[in-house]
Amino acid sequence: MGESHIDSSRAWKWKVCGLLLLATMIMYMDRQTLAVVAVRVTQSLDLSNEQYGNLELAFGLAFAFGSLLFGTLADRANVRWVYPLALIGWSTSGILTGFSRSYEELLVCRTMLGFFESGNWPCALVITQRLLARSDRSLGNSILQSGASIGAVLTPVAVLGIFSIADPGEDGRLAQWGLSGGMGVAVTGEPPMIWPLPFLVVGFIGLLWVSLWFLMIPAGSLARPQGSAESQTSSSYGSLFRDRRFYILIVMVICISIPWQLIRAWLPKVLMESRGYSETVALGFNSAYYIAADAGCLLAGWITYRLARGRLGVHGSRVLVFGVAAGLTSLTVLAAVLPAGIPLMAILIIIAAGSLAMYPCYYSFTQELTTTGMGKLSGTLAFSGWVVSAITQPEFGRLADETGSHDIGFALAGIPALIPVVLLLLFWRKT
């Protein structure tokens, strides 16, 4: 009887991990919907590239500051309520985006979305820490993390499906748009304004998730464990400011966030406006981009694990894999000068793999600094990465407006990834 109860309890915990995966997937779909419909939105509301960049700036800054707040709430408040409230917040923000009819309204909605989405990671990580045994947490966090890639892959597919249902003439219009190089209005006439629909659909799905959450999570099941080492956490966190590796990590998270966030926000727009791809092709490739990114992330972890067992050791293998991934990310310089075609698509796939492959290495370097202050450390680093990467968004747009092309900004996007490689080689103290 006791064994059956334990099995049931373990099964329930993995079902909760599945719920976290779904929440992360919905979060990323809410985030990526704007990037997927960016061309339609900017044309419909007559937005400049710089204004579109400002939308991403507002999102990033709100996410950065929200991370600090939700990190504290996840530790101190009842996470059973904090998590669904965050999800209600970002789902409602997504729904309101669908009703926006001006740049100012979009800006407010995007700010709200970034603020509430910042609650996902601290809440989810607190939940896996409390529910899972230490030996199970890596798998639980992997399940949680995979929701982001799944959401990014599904968003373009879902948007195209919604558009086809809402506008029966959509397929023919897109075909004509592709034949004309993606420029101008199809001869069948101006398409109806259907870009708000994906925001509404994804937002309502998030609200349905909240109902499922309370059905599966009974009161008291996520209670904070007794005997937590908060005093140790505070003292450990303070000592980090005397460790030069802390400042290397700040530079590292900034330099890997810039290419990831810029390409995330601008890739569909770049493919359609600067390379003339149809919406269908651009969004289909956008899904392939995130499949490649996920593969690169998993491959980096596996290669690092294998190399660490040889002469390179743990530190050497991490530096090598991070350096190769950074080099692949810097190929944005080459992608910026390639015309539409298979070579461009191939290089972008390589960039995708490299840009996400840097993250598991970054997390591993972070874990070398502390075992008791990881929450505050990761929150501080995330704040730094989001603030700086958010500032680059309107600058990317302004440069595109001034030059009439996204190429210069895209070329520069991957270069910062090389900076941490130099710092690791020269200044990181091996442990």
Model confidence pLDDT, tens digit, residues 58-85: 999 999 999 888 877 887 788 889 999 9
- Model-wide pTM > 0.95: no
Domain that holds residue 92: 1-217
Spatial contact of 127 and 16, defined as CB atoms under 8 Å apart? yes
Is there a domain that residue 18 lies in? Answer: yes
Q: Is the pLDDT of residue 158 over 50?
A: yes
pLDDT at position 431, please?
A: 53
Tell me whether residue 235 is in a domain: no
The per-residue pLDDT for 189 is 45
Asked if the structure places residue 395 within a domain, the reply is yes
* Number of C-beta neighbours around residue 294 at 10 A: 19
Q: Are residues 279 and 192 in the same domain?
A: no
CATH of the domain at 418: 1.20.1250.20
Is 165 part of a structural domain of the chain?
Answer: yes
C-alpha dihedral (28, 34, 37, 41), degrees to nearest 10: 170
Confidence of residue 222 (pLDDT cuts 50, 70, 90): confident
Last residue of a domain, one of 217, 252, 282: 217
| Residue 230 lies inside a defined structural domain of this protein | no
Indicate the average pLDDT of the chain: 84
pLDDT at 232 over 80: no
303 and 374 housed in the same domain: yes
pLDDT confidence of residue 360 = 80
Residue-wise pLDDT for 181-220, tens only, equals 444 433 344 456 789 999 999 999 999 999 999 999 888 7
Q: What angle do CA 165, 175, 198 make, to 5 degrees?
A: 35
Let me know whether 43 and 110 are in one domain. Answer: yes
Does residue 229 lie in a domain region? no
**Both tokens assigned to 409:** 């900004």
What span, in angstroms and rounded, lies between the C-alpha atoms of 163 and 198?
8
For residue 155, how many other CB atoms are within 10 A of its CB? 27
Same domain membership, residue 165 and residue 256: no
What's the pLDDT at 371? 57
> How far is 283 from 153, CA to CA, in rounded Å?
9
85-97 tens-digit pLDDT: 999 999 999 999 9
pLDDT recorded at residue 172? 52
Tell me: the pLDDT tens digits for 319-342? 999 999 999 999 999 999 999 999
213 and 333 part of one domain:
no
Does 198 share its domain with 293?
no
As for how many domains the chain has, the answer is: 2
